[in-house]
Amino acid sequence: MPHGNRARASARRVSDAVRAQVLTLARPADGRSRRAGAEALPNMDPRDRLIVALDTPSLADAEAIADRLGDVVRWFKIGPHLFATSGPDAIASLRRRGRVFLDMKYHDIPSTVAAGIEAAARQGVALCTVHAAGGTAMMRAAVEAARRGAAAAGHAPPRVVGVTLLTSADAPMLAEIGLTGSPQEAAVRMARLARAAGVDGAVASPLEAAAIRDACGPAFLLVCPGIRPAGAPEGDQRRVETPRGAVAAGADLLVVGRPITGAADPQAAARAILDEIANV
């Protein structure tokens, strides 16, 4: 293994333990789930790394997919579509089946973002998003609100992560909105800003994961959408990677929507992804 890869692999083993604690997802390591070379450290079950995006028009549709996935999937993502139709009912229903990632990508004045995050934290979501482009004051307000809301309801505080760049963004789109540099430079800049503001991690394309990991260190939680198993259509995603490639690049949590929800057998599609990342 080249030196750079070896150093990265070793840093990853340490960071696995740190990040497992960050998300309080660590489970007692057993013989089967241990990664070679990580004997002294807790390992994350692949099921704790996969988030299924339930971008469905109704809660009934989301529940139907979640039920088909069964205990193969432990994380569900609610985005603007499902939230607009079913909001708190969707959170409550999916919390009965696993952990909830509320992905509203807030970008507003600090007090408005804080109010939205506090309300979500009261409902027990485990992970939520703000745009790093919203700036330091907004991100700080979000983190404080997450703690406040969770404490008021007796939940563990949700992790707040900053969206760096949408995975649908490409160089022409960055130029269109006046962002300088390549998508990778812009994503790293946003991730550094998010880290300095005290959020727990970042959402980024897996193509930027390694650069963000290098810039932001082992404890920074990296959530990667834009995941496409080999042969799956890209759809409107631009900067995509396979599940294995994303984890190898340093992704902690993979967000996968249509390749699972649009599959004839969603559970089989999820299992195939878990198998693919199990020994990366």
- Report the catalytic residues: 105
> Can residue 257 be called a binding residue for ligand C5P (CB under 6 A)?
yes
Nearer to ligand C5P, 63 or 241 (CB): 241
> Can residue 162 be called a binding residue for ligand C5P (CB under 6 A)?
no
Interface residue with ligand C5P, options 48, 55, 118, 200 (CB under 6 A) = 55
Tell me which residue has its CB nearest to ligand C5P: 257
Cβ within 8 Å of residue 25, ≥6 positions away: 44, 48
Q: What tokens does 54 get?
A: 């339930």
**Window of 2-10, 12-20, 142-150, 255-263 that interacts with ligand C5P by CB under 6 A:** 255-263
Nearer to ligand C5P, 120 or 163 (CB): 163
Contact 106, 134 (CB under 8 A): yes
- How far is residue 186's CA from residue 133's CA, in Å, rounded to a whole number? 10
> Can residue 147 be called a binding residue for ligand C5P (CB under 6 A)?
no
Contact 100, 125 (CB under 8 A): yes
Interface residue with ligand C5P, options 9, 235, 265, 268 (CB under 6 A) = 235
Dihedral Cα 224, 226, 227, 228, nearest 10 deg: -170
Q: Which of 207, 171, 202, 177 is nearest to 189 (CA)?
A: 202
DSSP, collapsed to helix, strand or coil, labels residue 132 as helix
> Can residue 166 be called a binding residue for ligand C5P (CB under 6 A)?
yes
For ligand C5P, the binding residues (CB under 6 A) are: 53, 55, 77, 79, 103, 163, 166-167, 203, 225-226, 235, 237, 255-259
